[in-house]
């Protein structure tokens, strides 16, 4: 305990950066106080979040009250949940009872739900302590120019973007402003923040996790998912939030396995396909390419059978995704676009209005492209247990990159479609995918390996990610804050 808690009684940075699974074990063993842990995170938020703007709302008093209750339960030796005493935070896209849920928009600035989203309710029932609500691009769409609740920033370099749309979810975990977080991944919005902020993030199989109480963007794509400093933390949270919910009839009735128990570190004999078009394409940064090839080599040394695989439709996935996601979003926002257009950020408004003008023929073409992308992924996964590729084609760009004017059609295609073609294939196919740190650029920015698996084989994706993680030290680095 002496190495973990400072003599003053405060919690050390080593504990704040410890995995949630590790913190939970210390709490169960009475070596760590939930009250002290919660207070330490709140103090860190006070000190750092003025720069990072990861949070929109901090639930200070409620979190401390819940921590005191959690500490009493430990003392009384009552049965403890798997997340007992662990401070978590959620993207402000998830409803929280009595706590405003803005979706990052002025339109919902005064929205205070009466009930928790299912995923929030399950985390608190497991003993978790809600620290607050995390910043995001407006309505989780991406492309926000002026963030109503402050510009979220990357902990590794505050001039760089933390990734959209779950920007705060990635930044808060990387900067140790909470133990773990929840994001929502429509086309990469868990994996991109995980990639650019240097943490682990998992997009579950579509339909594995309830979306009840999650403000929607695109019903056919949305998937809530965990972000953590380790793959084990993602497995821990997924085991809590996965499973059927009567309030979301599209959730599976399959009983989820014990994801943590399946983190064996063993990948011998697994077949791993390296997606050629994403790893070796002209758009992929050489540092990213080298890091991913090296990561695949680690899996090969662990006994996996690694080979290249070609998915020719994958580079078109970003364009198909935007046509589908944005048109679904435009239909959802039609009422507010008519009644409160000026309350939207100009980037959000422009994107939704443009999507509302898409002809039906183009949307149908996008659906056909989606089917082709899905077929190629499914066929590749029939021959391979997982597919791997970069999570992003480059390290986190500067924030100014996203606000600079677009001067050509080619630049527009590159900005809107290229990076999305790396994360949207799994979203279009409804398959699980996760991001795991796999290196750093020469400029000190995180690089990330993406692992894609078969539908409802999330455990295999997590197992491969965990096995790789255990052979490397990238997840142990901390941003200098």
E strand intervals along 239-304: 271-275
Q: In terms of DSSP H, where are the helices of 149-213?
A: 167-174, 191-197
String of b and e for 398-417 (b: at least 16 CB within 10 Å)?
Answer: ebeebeeeeeeeeeeeebbb
DSSP 121: H
Q: How far apart are CA 375 and CA 364, in angstroms?
A: 17
- Of 19, 33, 105, 165, which is the active-site residue? 165
Give the span between the Cα atoms of 418 and 411, in whole angstroms. 10
| Best CA proximity match to 460, nearest among 259, 224, 232 | 259
Find out whether 377 and 273 touch, Cβ atoms under 8 Å.
no
165 labelled catalytic? yes
> Is residue 165 reached through a cis peptide bond, with omega within 30 degrees of 0 on the bond before it?
yes
Q: From the candidates 189, 195, 210, 327, give the one annotated as an active-site residue.
A: 189
Catalytic residue among 19, 33, 91, 105: 91
Instruction: Name the residue among 15, 14, 41 with its Cα closest to residue 172.
Output: 41
Cα distances (Å, whole numbers) of residue 167 to 151, 154, 284, 319, 420: 10, 8, 22, 22, 15
Which residues are catalytic, by number?
91, 165, 189
């Amino acid at each position: 305990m002496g190495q973990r808690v400072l003599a003053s009684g405060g919690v050390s940075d080593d504990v704040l950066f410890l995995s949630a699974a590790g913190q939970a074990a210390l709490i169960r063993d009475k070596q760590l106080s939930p009250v002290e842990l919660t207070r330490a995170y709140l103090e860190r938020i006070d000190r750092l979040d003025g720069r990072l703007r990861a949070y929109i709302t901090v639930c200070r008093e409620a979190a401390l009250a819940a921590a005191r209750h959690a500490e009493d339960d430990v003392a009384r030796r009552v049965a403890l949940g798997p997340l007992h005493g662990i401070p978590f935070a959620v993207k402000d896209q998830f409803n929280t009872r009595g706590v405003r849920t803005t979706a990052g928009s002025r339109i919902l600035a005064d929205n205070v739900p009466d009930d928790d989203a299912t995923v929030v309710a399950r985390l608190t029932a497991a003993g978790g302590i809600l620290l607050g609500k995390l910043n995001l691009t407006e309505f989780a769409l991406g492309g926000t120019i002026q963030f109503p609740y402050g510009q979220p920033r990357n902990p590794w370099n505050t001039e760089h973007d933390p990734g959209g749309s779950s920007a705060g979810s990635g930044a808060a975990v990387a900067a140790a402003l909470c133990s773990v977080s929840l994001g929502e991944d429509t086309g990469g919005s868990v994996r991109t923040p995980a990639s650019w902020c240097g943490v682990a993030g998992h997009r579950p199989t579509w339909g594995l996790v309830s979306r009840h109480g999650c403000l929607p963007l695109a019903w056919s794509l949305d998937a809530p998912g965990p972000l953590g400093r380790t793959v084990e933390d993602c497995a821990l949270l997924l085991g809590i939030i996965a499973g059927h919910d009567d309030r979301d009839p599209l959730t599976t009735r399959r009983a989820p396995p014990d994801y943590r128990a399946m983190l064996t570190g063993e990948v011998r004999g697994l077949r791993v396909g390296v997606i050629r078009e994403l790893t070796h394409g002209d758009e992929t940064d050489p540092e990213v390419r080298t890091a991913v090839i090296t990561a695949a080599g680690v899996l090969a040394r662990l006994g996996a059978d690694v080979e290249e695989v070609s998915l020719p439709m994958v580079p078109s996935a970003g364009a198909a995704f935007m046509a589908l996601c944005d048109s679904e979003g435009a239909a959802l926002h039609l009422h507010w676009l008519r009644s409160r257009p000026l309350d939207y950020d100009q980037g959000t408004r422009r994107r939704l209005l443009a999507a509302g003008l898409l002809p039906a023929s183009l949307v149908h073409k996008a659906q056909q492209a989606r089917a082709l992308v899905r077929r190629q992924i499914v066929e590749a996964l029939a021959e391979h247990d997982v597919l791997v590729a970069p999570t992003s084609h480059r390290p986190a760009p500067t924030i100014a990159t996203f606000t600079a004017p677009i001067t050509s059609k080619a630049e527009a295609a590159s900005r809107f479609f290229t990076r999305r073609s790396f994360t949207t294939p799994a979203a279009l196919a409804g398959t699980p995918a996760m991001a795991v740190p796999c290196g750093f650029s020469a400029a000190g920015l995180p690089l990330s390996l993406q692992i894609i698996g078969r539908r409802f084989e999330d455990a295999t994706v997590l197992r491969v990610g965990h096995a790789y993680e255990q052979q490397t030290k990238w997840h142990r680095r901390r941003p200098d804050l």
